[in-house]
Amino acid sequence: MIIGIPRERAPDENRVGLAPNGVHALAEQGHQVIVEKGAGAGSGFSDDRYQEAGAQIVHASDEVYARAGLIVKVLTPVSQEYDAIQPGQIIMAALHLAVSSPHFLDLLLDRSCTAIDYATIQDDEGELPVLRTMSQIAGRIVPQIAARYLQSDHGGKGILLGGAPAVPPAEVVILGGGVVGRNAARACLGMGARVTLLDRDYDRLRQLDWTFDGRLTTFMANEYTLPKVLQYADVVIGAVLIPGARTPHLVTRQMIGLLRDRSLVLDVSIDQGGCFETSRPTRLSDPTYVVDGITHYCVPNLPSLVARSATYALGNITLPYISALASSRPAVALRRLPTLQRGVNLFAGKITHPRVADAHEREFVSLDQLLSS
């Protein structure tokens, strides 16, 4: 199977599907990899680096799609790529099909594509290894963004995130104690902020309290505690995830009114629909807007801010899956790798993830059933 790596065309996306070291590993295994010219430029990888690693450079994404059986991307294809997608093609990316357009979903189904969503690849313990890797980066970059947009020159309150002698630090509230929330808490505490985290899972909160040695204030997330903590927050971080499904709007427009003027809302869940009713996707080159005096930062591809680190991290975790798919027929590879199998949202023109089917009100077909037949 030929593996294709097209250039990312989503706005302000600087990552690439695989770094040269990953291409080299595949080439050593005997696989053919084709890379679109300039695909790695945003992450600091030249075409020469890819050629030295064993890839063939082509000048157009159409050629990548036309020749490759397996397409490896970071984000879901954009509209100008739709026509190039081939019947029966395998596409691996952060697809988020539950919130995709019906048109794109129909296109993939009509062409009997296999769609593997990085966000739903799940191991036997229920962990999401690929999503975890990007979420760790997103969480750790949160305090850098928060510090910037608390500054006076960025329309913020003029608050130093970590405070100063005799001056209190910023109050950071995190909604969700998953990977993003844990890493955001760690990074914000490391910069000296006061951090409060809410989650509906008591055992998770208990574990976090122990992990952070009592430095993290925790609350059960409910209709009473959420409005209470919003009233004193300087920064609110949305870090809620339901794998494969649209994120519920936990903070309503009315609740936004509880925040003090020039506070910051940072919705890391925006790629799954966002957990603030007032959230809408933005881009790195124009990341913020203001609603009712509250700054909203809702960029869906935060790790692109550190594109080189994020590309290496992505390749470290996805390379074994790419290699497995390229080394045998897809059905065989999926039977051998239950973790990868759980990431399959579409297979042979059928929707095989229940939350995608529910989101689009379509028929769900068990992947086990399709593989057995």
* Catalytically active residues, by annotation: 96, 271
SS3 2: strand
The token pair at 23 is: 């291409």
Greatest extent of the chain over all pairs of C-alpha atoms, in Å = 69
SS3 290: strand
In angstroms, the first-to-last Cα distance of the chain is 22
DSSP string, 34-96: EEETTTTGGGT--HHHHHHHTPEEES-HHHHHHH-SEEEEEEPPPGGGGGGPPTT-EEEEE--
Give me the residue label for tokens 């059905």: 331
Dihedral pair phi/psi, residue 133, rounded to 5°: -65, -45
- CA 351 – CA 346 distance, rounded (Å): 5
SS3 364: strand
Cβ 113 vs Cβ 346: under 8 Å: yes
Residues in the chain: 373
SS3 196: strand
Cβ 95 vs Cβ 345: under 8 Å: yes
Residues ≥6 apart with Cβ < 8 Å to 309: 137, 303
In degrees, to the nearest 5, what angle opens at C-alpha 39 toward C-alphas 35 and 40? 110
